[in-house]
């Protein structure tokens, strides 16, 4: 949070209460309750991703050095597919769900009826500056809400483009973009939204939650943590190496669900290391800095932070840096001690440490000694090992014999647990996150049994005992 007097005064001058009032008025008008309106907005998102694809690719390259293919698969196509999924299924998600009514409630009918919350604030992160605000927005729209999105100021090209495109494609009476940094975010958090979705660090997540508590605003926090990757000796190591390298070094490691570190035994490590190096060469060539497929660190501060972690172990390969280009090579470290600097924080960069764990029990003990991760990965052919890992390791998401691919399944909820977050969205779960599931009971007029009314006699009591 800002400390200077100037920053504090700047914050005091920012007031988004008028914007919120306008969106509340739009919501109260009933405009967003229409399924037709929701379909129009979601279809507009799909059109925006297609028609302005080149502009979106350019912005993502300016911010993060993303290639068109990576921008397509992880940003524009993801958002478009998510919008289409919500558009096609929201009518079914919106239906009343009948539940049984007991004898004491007869004659009567009972059901659960989804209703929109109101105005939702979505605060995005810089590593996927398009996807992380628009996917949440899709779910909020599908549920019938008005939305304010706050893109990350650390991805300025993407933020500016969203601020330009959203009013052109979506209903400005109901959907707004607010650009800015800490001051703007702080001012937004002062307001009584109906729900807040925040994606980012745990430290800022605590600030968001504390601010929301003042207005009793519910929050969904998508945070991060050190997602472990356990490699057992029986795994197909060539495929394992390719999948880990892809997950770790895509977006230069700046992915909240990237494998943060590997846990394996000494013999498996010796076999895995050359395969990891081979996978990196196949993806990015002998000099990844020259590869059009390799991204850059978002800014100088993060470049310096990740660079300091390179001394946390023995360099197996990589390690090259170029501050002028915000480039850190795909790097693997061995002989990494559990207490080393790189194991004390989420890396969020292209540095992959390997920590020794001589068996599954050692790996589980190491993981359970830390905070619950956003994702947990296990590579093995043994079903008993797989079931034990899933039963004992608590994580927001898990994947067996691959990394991150659960994100491709629209109906799998995405969210953290403990330090890695709370709440979830994606597919139907996203619709439910931004809805209130209202319990409704409708009674008939007759018969109106006198048994529930005072005076409470022994005869009435005996009757109640029989029917309960």
Just list the catalytic residues.
222, 256
Cβ partners under 8 Å of residue 433, min gap 6? 139, 143, 195, 197, 220, 423, 424, 425
Contact 231/268 with Cβ under 8 angstroms?
Answer: yes
Whole-number Å distance between alpha carbons of 119 and 122: 10
- List the structure tokens of 228: 């472990």
Whole-number Å distance between alpha carbons of 58 and 71: 9
Cβ partners under 8 Å of residue 234, min gap 6? 380, 381, 382
Whole-number Å distance between alpha carbons of 192 and 200: 21
Whole-number Å distance between alpha carbons of 227 and 378: 11
Whole-number Å distance between alpha carbons of 149 and 144: 15
Cβ partners under 8 Å of residue 206, min gap 6? none
Q: Count of CB atoms within 10 A of residue 111's CB?
A: 15
């Amino acid at each position: 949070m800002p400390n200077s007097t100037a920053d504090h005064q700047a914050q005091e001058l920012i007031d988004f209460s008028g914007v919120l009032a306008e969106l509340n008025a739009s919501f109260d008008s009933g405009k967003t309750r229409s399924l037709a309106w929701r379909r129009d907005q979601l279809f507009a998102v799909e059109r925006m991703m297609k028609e302005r694809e080149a502009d979106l690719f350019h912005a993502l390259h300016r911010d993060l050095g993303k290639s068109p293919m990576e921008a397509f698969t992880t940003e524009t196509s993801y958002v478009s597919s998510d919008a289409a999924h919500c558009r096609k299924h929201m009518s079914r998600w919106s239906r009343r769900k009948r539940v049984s009514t007991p004898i004491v409630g007869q004659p009567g009918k009972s059901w659960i009826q989804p209703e929109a919350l109101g105005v939702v604030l979505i605060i995005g992160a810089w590593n996927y500056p398009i996807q992380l605000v628009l996917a949440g927005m899709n779910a909020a729209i599908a549920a019938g809400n008005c939305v304010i999105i706050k893109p990350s100021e650390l991805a300025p090209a993407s933020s500016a483009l969203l601020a330009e495109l959203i009013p052109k494609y979506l209903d400005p009476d109901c959907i707004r973009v607010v650009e800015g940094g800490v001051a703007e975010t702080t001012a937004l958090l002062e307001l009584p939204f109906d729900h807040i979705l925040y994606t980012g660090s745990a430290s800022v997540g605590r600030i968001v939650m504390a601010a929301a508590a003042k207005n009793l605003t519910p929050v969904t926090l998508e945070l991060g943590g050190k997602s472990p990757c356990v490699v057992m000796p029986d795994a197909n190591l060539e495929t394992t190496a390719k999948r880990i390298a892809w997950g770790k070094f895509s977006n230069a490691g700046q992915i909240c669900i990237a494998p943060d570190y590997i846990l394996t035994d000494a013999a498996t490590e010796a076999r895995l290391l050359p395969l990891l190096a081979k996978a990196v060469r196949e993806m990015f060539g002998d000099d990844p800095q020259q590869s059009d497929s390799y991204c850059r660190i978002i800014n100088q501060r993060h470049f310096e932070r990740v660079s300091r972690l390179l001394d946390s172990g023995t360099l197996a390969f990589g390690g090259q840096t170029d501050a002028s280009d915000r480039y850190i090579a795909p790097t693997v470290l061995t002989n990494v001690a559990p207490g080393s600097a790189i194991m004390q924080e989420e890396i969020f960069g292209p540095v992959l440490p390997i920590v020794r764990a001589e068996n599954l029990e050692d790996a589980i003990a190491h993981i359970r000694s830390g905070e619950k991760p956003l994702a947990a990965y296990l590579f093995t052919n043994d079903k008993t090992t797989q079931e034990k890992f899933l039963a004992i390791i608590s994580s927001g998401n898990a994947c067996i014999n691959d990394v991150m691919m659960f994100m491709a399944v629209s109906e799998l909820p995405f969210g953290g647990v403990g330090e890695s977050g709370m709440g979830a969205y994606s597919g139907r779960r996203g619709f439910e996150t931004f809805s209130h599931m209202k319990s409704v009971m409708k009674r008939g007029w007759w018969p109106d049994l006198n048994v529930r009314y005072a005076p409470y006699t022994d005869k009435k009591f005996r009757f109640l005992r029989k029917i309960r």
